[in-house]
Amino acid sequence: MSKQPKYEQVADALRREIDNGTYGPGSRLPSEAELATRFDASRNTVRAGLKLLVSQGLVTSSQGLGYEVSKHEVFELNASRFENLTFPQNGDAFSTDVTNAGRHPHQTFRVELTTTPEYVATRLKVETGSRSVLRFCHRFVDNVPWSTQATHYPDWLLAEAPRLAEPGDIAEGTTRYLASVDIEQIGYRDEISTRMPTPEEARLLEVGAGVPVMLWTRTGYSHDRPIRCTITTLRGDLNRMNYEIGDLSGRDGDESE
């Protein structure tokens, strides 16, 4: 019956104990040495089992401290609400949302002129190799890295909206600014995918092994062509995206009664 490798048995036993609350979120697991004794296994074998749990995002490890059971607080992103169509995800909206949730927002901001990456060029319908303005944002909540956001604007747009290329925030928000020069975003297309972070992403978002990232690409359209492409990279363990479509009058029945 012991066809299952020993390190998997270790992982399964610990997973069960995490699930049933023996080790709650935030609590520390016994040390590798203790587990080795308990399971009558070598330290290497126990480490293999723990590595499994780490790669599944259940626990994290830190040198000198031990293994800690992960806790996930999920932040909800309402991606389809009308506010987001008119004022999509500008820095102000982020700060407001986070503050409303009783948390402390923080972000760093940077503007560059770059050659358009192919992924973005396809979506903006501009030539690969053409230039675009990149407005990049690195966001934190309570000093925990939360997401990065890179918005590209095609260079033809600069003739009409030169302030996009200026460094620093646009106080009224980019969408409102664009509307003020008669460029209105009247629709968008979202693409959502997930994968493990690249080393660069792992560094920016400070995620360890076992935490995937969610990639959210929003391409915004004016009446006749794409005007922006925003790529948001979110920590998968901290975010959930919501879309509400159609008539949801029956949604909050228990609250409205």
Partner DNA sequence: CGCGCGAACATGTACCAACAAGTTGACCGA
Partner DNA sequence: TCGGTCAACTTGTTGGTACATGTTCGCGCG
CA separation for the pair 247, 241 (Å, rounded): 19
- Count, residues near DNA per rule CB under 7 A: 24
Please list, residue by residue across 79-92, b when 16 or more beta carbons sit within 10 angstroms of its beta carbon and e when fewer do: beeeebeebbbbbe
Does 93 bind DNA (CB under 7 A)? Our answer is: no
Does 202 bind DNA (CB under 7 A)? Our answer is: no
- Closer CB to DNA, residue 34 or residue 73? 34
Out of DNA, its own copies, none, what residue 34 binds, judged by CB under 5 to 8 A for its kind, is: DNA
Q: For residue 194, what is the DSSP state?
A: E
- Count, residues near its own copies per rule CB under 8 A: 55
CA separation for the pair 84, 220 (Å, rounded): 11
Minimum distance from residue 187 beta carbon to its own copies (Å): 3
Q: Which two tokens stand for residue 254?
A: 């228990």
- Of 17, 34, 112, 191, which lies in the binding site for its own copies, with binding defined by CB under 8 A? 191
Q: DSSP string of 134-190?
A: EEEEEEEETTEEEEEEEEEEEGGGGGT-GGGGSSS--TT-HHHHHHHTT----EEEE
Q: Which two tokens stand for residue 167?
A: 């460094």
Give the binding range for DNA (CB under 7 A) out of 32-40, 94-102, 125-133, 154-162.
32-40
Q: Which residues make up the interface to DNA (CB under 7 A)? A: 5-8, 29, 31-34, 40-45, 47-48, 61-67
Binding site for its own copies (CB under 8 A): 12, 15, 51, 55-57, 74, 79-80, 85, 125, 185-199, 209-214, 221-226, 236-237, 239-251, 253-254
